[in-house]
Amino acid sequence: MKKIIFIGLVFFLTILNFQYAEAKKRTYQNGNFRYTYKMEKKGVWITNIKPLSNKGIGTLKIPSQIKGKKVIKLGFDEDFDGHGSDSDYNIFGIRPDPEGNGSRLVPQHRINMVKKIKTIKIPSTVETLGFFCFDFIGDGKTINIPQKVKKYVISQFTKIKWKKITISAKNKKFKVKNGCLLSRDGTVVYGFVQKKKKMVIPETVKTIDTTDWHTQEAGVGDYNGCPTIVIPKSVNKIERYAFSTDEPVAIKIAKGNKRYAVQYDSVYSKVSGRLVLGYINNGVLKVPEKVTNINTDIAGILGKGTKLKKVIMPSGVKKIYNLFGFENCADEFICEIRCRKPPKLTASFYGGRIGSKYTVYVPKNCKNKYVESWKGKFDPALDVKYIEV
């Protein structure tokens, strides 16, 4: 009986706390927008912005003050702690459909309204944005990033491709140049914020990155939207997990780059022999001849939206990490390995999906070497067949 009373008390207090939290929310209307907000010690936190009309909402000028207090924070209530499936609403209440595969957004009526917004003006008073704050709003808008906003910028502002994006000259963390999101000193590129036929990464850039490891910002930068990417000779580091693109992208390396080169449209390191970016051509990835180290977990894929049916590995490959671990493999997957000596499999898990078929083509008179060398390396339930060619 005591246990039942205790559970009931906990439930009651939970409900009471929720109602109290909801009661702290207030609304403020300015023009054709309604703002839901909370008053905090340091200032106002806007948790939702609702367009009230189909007309007169081309420009959203977020207020810098409400009730005499500065607006310092934007984002859905739960958008600051974990970014789970229950917290991925943007500032307009739009989110991926929880019943779908993540590609469809809901609710549709709100999406239609937000499409009409062409310019978003964030006041200089804002210091903090939620992880999904301006995600899911569609390409082609104009926006600005204030001086003090330094967190949760990379993922959401590169995923959207803006007509124009400006960053305060006083922001010590980021800047934009040539459609690229850069570190303030211009030495690191985190992703692309605009669409271009040819994206030329600035010559100040030394590192191509996906996220800001210095602040451990969650999320990765997006490099989609440009059919051709030019990497300057100044780049001497393309990070592991650097980037992948949905569609095949042509990479050009500027003359004089000492570390990276392109062959068969894929990028590799001339120094370490690592496959850096693999290009999918009609379902086939042909690995450059000078690659010696293939790590399927950290190599980027140019064209990950295409089913990968076949990988051709050159004779110089020494090590392979996660052999069948390439992204978006077809159910019938072929590895053509031209090494007479079986490469060393270095992972504790070597990839593959139960129910898929894997065929490994090896040189003549080498099948027994592969069978013996790779014995016990795969899940016994995995369908792996060796064929000599």
Q: What is the pTM assigned to this prediction?
A: 0.89
Question: Could you give the CA distance from residue 258 to residue 270 in angstroms, rounded to a whole number?
Answer: 8
Q: Could you count the other beta carbons within 10 Å of the beta carbon of residue 101? A: 7
Provide the pLDDT for residue 349.
64
Residue matched to tokens 């989609």: 224
Among candidate residues 122, 164, 121, the one with its CA nearest the CA of residue 139? 164
Provide the pLDDT for residue 352.
85
Q: Which two tokens stand for residue 122?
A: 């964030």
What are the b/e assignments for 28-64, b being 16+ CB within 10 Å?
A: eeeebbebbbeeeeebbbbbbbbbeeeeebeebebbe
Provide the pLDDT for residue 350.
67
Write the DSSP symbol of residue 371.
H
Q: Could you count the other beta carbons within 10 Å of the beta carbon of residue 235? A: 21
Among candidate residues 322, 258, 306, 311, the one with its CA nearest the CA of residue 288? 311
| H/E stretch holding 96 | strand 95-96
Provide the pLDDT for residue 335.
97
Question: Could you give the CA distance from residue 352 to residue 373 in angstroms, rounded to a whole number?
Answer: 18
Q: Which two tokens stand for residue 22?
A: 């909801």
Q: Which two tokens stand for residue 182?
A: 């850069």
Q: CA 35, 38, 40, 46: dihedral to nearest 10 degrees?
A: -30
Each of the 389 residues of the chain gets a pLDDT tens digit; together they read: 544 544 444 444 444 444 444 447 899 999 999 999 999 999 999 999 999 999 999 999 999 999 999 999 999 987 765 444 456 899 999 999 988 777 799 999 999 999 999 999 999 999 999 999 999 999 999 999 999 999 999 999 999 999 999 999 999 999 999 999 999 999 999 999 999 999 999 999 999 987 544 444 556 899 999 999 999 999 999 998 889 999 999 999 999 999 999 999 999 999 999 999 999 999 999 999 999 999 998 999 999 999 999 999 999 999 999 999 998 999 999 999 999 999 999 876 667 889 999 999 999 999 999 999 999 888 888 999 999 99
Q: How far is CA 294 from the centre of its chain?
A: 22
Count of all residues that appear for the chain in the document: 389
Residue matched to tokens 């992972």: 347
Residue 320 carries which side chain, given as an amino acid letter? I
Question: Could you give the CA distance from residue 10 to residue 176 in angstroms, rounded to a whole number?
Answer: 50
**Phi, psi dihedrals of residue 357, rounded to the nearest 5°:** -110, 130
Provide the pLDDT for residue 25.
82
Instruction: Describe the strand order of the beta sheet including 260-263 as a list of residue ranges.
Output: 260-263, 266-269, 275-279, 300-302
Contacts (Cβ under 8 Å, ≥6 apart) of 101: none
Provide the pLDDT for residue 219.
61
